[in-house]
Chains A and B, each alone.
Chain A
Amino acid sequence: MAMLARRVLCGKTLATNCFKTLRATTSNAHIVRQQIRCFSRGTTLLADRKYSEKHEWVVIDGKIATVGISEFAQDQLGDIVYAQPPEAETDVAQDEEVGALESVKAASELYSPMTGVVTEANKEVIANPALINTAPYEEGKPWWLWKMEVSKPEELDGLMDEKAYKKYLRDSV
């Protein structure tokens, strides 16, 4: 609990105050936020993170992939009130709709960035969906939604790294 509190607090104090001002003054606030975050100590961790065009991120450790939504996606969604990640033992295919996040009145679909079997859904986030909005990217530890054992590790090559994802945000969103 102490760690949790510290993480949330850290995310807020580092980011919220200054970024609120930034967000109000620039239309590309999310890009500015991400650029600034590169200077944080999460940089090395972010380098291992891959992104899908549907704004999910994935980090692979052996066969286990951890999945969450990008800072950009959570910012676009606004206050998340309900999280429905896929349940453990669910077979998921790449780009398949596997769950949803509800940010008041709008249900946004979650897509799996890879193919495999879900091993765990993040109970902490399910119990408190607002945590996703606290996204302490400064520590390189945004909240994850589910973990899965991947069956097609090669799919990772088709995903974007941090730099490519930033370009994707600038160019296509």
Chain B
Amino acid sequence: MWFNQVASCFSALCANAFKLTTMSKVVGVVKTICDPKHNSRNIVFQQQYYFSTMPTVKKDTATFTQTGHGVYILTTKNIYYNLALEDWLYKNGNFDNGELLLLWRNQPCIVIGRHQNVWAECNILDALRQGVDIARRRSGGGTVYHDLGNLNCTFFTSRKRYNRKHNLEVIAQALRDKWKLNLSVSKRDDMLLDDNFKISGTAAKLGQNTAYHHCTLLFDVHVDQLCTLLHSPMKGLESRATESTRSFVKNLCEVNNTINYTSLVDCVISEYFLAHHKHEVTYVDPTLEEQFPGIGKLQDDLRCWDWIYGHSPAFSLRYSANGSLGGITSHLMMHITVEKGHIENIDMELAGCDDSYKELLAEVCETLIGCRFWPMHITIALISMQLHLNSPELWALINKCFSGFLEPNCHIEQNIKETM
């Protein structure tokens, strides 16, 4: 059994949206072909569709109007660029007369919800050591792990036509028809296999005019990684951030080994088009600035420390450890409060040692207040007061208290784009 993390329940938000339509499968619909020349690096469909080259973007105003139903298959596997394209379409797109489905996947990464505490949701340091990206999306919901065995579907609609139950039904129906899977959509808008295993998590962002709903589809995800990385090693953490709900997950390929990226994309697209009677697939590269003016900046914003880590709602941590100070076994307790990614307050209490250490400890607290809550920054602050030289024992005890958090690791720093 494996765990995935997802968000908690969802109530009748889309009560005003259009009614759920019953999907009816039209047999034998194979439309005229226009094979894309730039298809070689992508997938070969069993079904054949119209392919268009590029979306229409008015470059002077960077606005974009979708008419009819379209599907974009994103050609980058970079989480920040893929989320940036969602941002770009949300900001610049008009979906009053059309809808868009984005299909995309990423290299291994952890994606947390907008209002979550990144420290509570995953093992940050392990992830960064392994080169797994960590991203905070703009939508709500809980934390998910992505890799190439996970297909993401984003449904762009006008705010009025936002209906995620309908979207999930389109996907569920597609999978039921093709692979006879026992799928259901739960009250919490999770897609369940055999009423028990979650194969898809959902989140959404709603603006005044535009809304999008995105969901995951686990077909061949590395579940060991998922389980390990979505487990925070931090104890004693308290915050008002939205928490993920853990669920049992299962890969679709375990149920039917013909389910892979190609067959899944093909299946979802064909059902989406059956539902909407329009056949147009476009390969889109979100890294193209000339195609999506300003997308580079949106990507930078998603990648910056202040958004991923600093945006975590205020939280507090309690640590304690025992260690020897001047030959006496002492007990150190720490209570840290972090706001906007920086240490707002820190209390340290030492029991069972010489008073001289307590003075030093007061100095440590003073140094750390205002410091960014990040291993390198805390370490540098302590080294700058020469704690490691003045009192190696206290340095060791504080480090122990932080459970190894303080070890400077240049590799980690390289993965973070700083905005100091």
**Bound CA span A126–B7, Å:** 19
**Bound CA span A100–B140, Å:** 10
Q: Are B11 and A79 in contact (CB under 8 A)?
A: yes
**Bound CA span A111–B141, Å:** 21
**Bound CA span A109–B135, Å:** 20
How far, in Å, is A88 (CB) from chain B's closest CB?
14
**Interface residue A84 (Cβ < 8 Å from any Cβ of B):** yes
**Interface residue B31 (Cβ < 8 Å from any Cβ of A):** no
Q: Are A105 and B10 in contact (CB under 8 A)?
A: yes
Contact of B139 among A79, A82, A107 (CB under 8 A): A107
**Bound CA span A97–B13, Å:** 20
**Bound CA span A127–B208, Å:** 26
- Enumerate chain A residues within 8 angstroms of B204, measured Cβ to Cβ: 105-107
**Interface residue A102 (Cβ < 8 Å from any Cβ of B):** yes
Q: Are B242 and A106 in contact (CB under 8 A)?
A: no
Contact of A105 among B12, B141, B208 (CB under 8 A): B141
- Enumerate chain A residues within 8 angstroms of B205, measured Cβ to Cβ: 106-109
- Which residue of A is nearest B139, CB measured? A107
- Enumerate chain B residues within 8 angstroms of A76, measured Cβ to Cβ: 13, 15-16
**Interface residue A81 (Cβ < 8 Å from any Cβ of B):** yes
**Interface residue B403 (Cβ < 8 Å from any Cβ of A):** no
**Interface residue A158 (Cβ < 8 Å from any Cβ of B):** no
Q: Are B139 and A81 in contact (CB under 8 A)?
A: no
Q: Are A102 and B12 in contact (CB under 8 A)?
A: no
**Interface residue A2 (Cβ < 8 Å from any Cβ of B):** no
B11-40 vs A, Cβ < 8 Å mask (1 yes, 0 no): 111011000000000000000000000000
**Interface residue B240 (Cβ < 8 Å from any Cβ of A):** yes
**Interface residue B8 (Cβ < 8 Å from any Cβ of A):** yes
Residues A42-94 near B (CB distance < 8 A): 53-54, 76-79, 81-82, 84
- Which residue of B is nearest A129, CB measured? B240
Q: Are B10 and A84 in contact (CB under 8 A)?
A: no
- Enumerate chain B residues within 8 angstroms of A78, measured Cβ to Cβ: 10-13
- Enumerate chain B residues within 8 angstroms of A102, measured Cβ to Cβ: 113-115, 140, 242
Q: Are B8 and A100 in contact (CB under 8 A)?
A: no
How far, in Å, is A98 (CB) from chain B's closest CB?
12
- Enumerate chain B residues within 8 angstroms of A100, measured Cβ to Cβ: 114-115
B7, B140, B141, B203 interface centre (most CB from chain A within 10 Å): B140
**Interface residue B44 (Cβ < 8 Å from any Cβ of A):** no
**Bound CA span A109–B205, Å:** 8
Q: Are B13 and A81 in contact (CB under 8 A)?
A: no
- Enumerate chain A residues within 8 angstroms of B13, measured Cβ to Cβ: 76-78, 103, 106
How far, in Å, is B271 (CB) from chain A's closest CB?
23
**Bound CA span A76–B12, Å:** 7
For the complex with contacts A82-B240, A84-B115, 18 further pairs of A-B residues with Cβ separation under 8 Å are A79-B9, A81-B8, A81-B242, A82-B242, A104-B10, A104-B140, A104-B141, A105-B9, A105-B188, A105-B202, A105-B203, A106-B141, A106-B206, A107-B114, A107-B139, A107-B203, A109-B206, A109-B207
Residue positions of A touching B, CB distance < 8 A: 53-54, 76-79, 81-82, 84, 97, 100, 102-109, 111, 126-127, 173
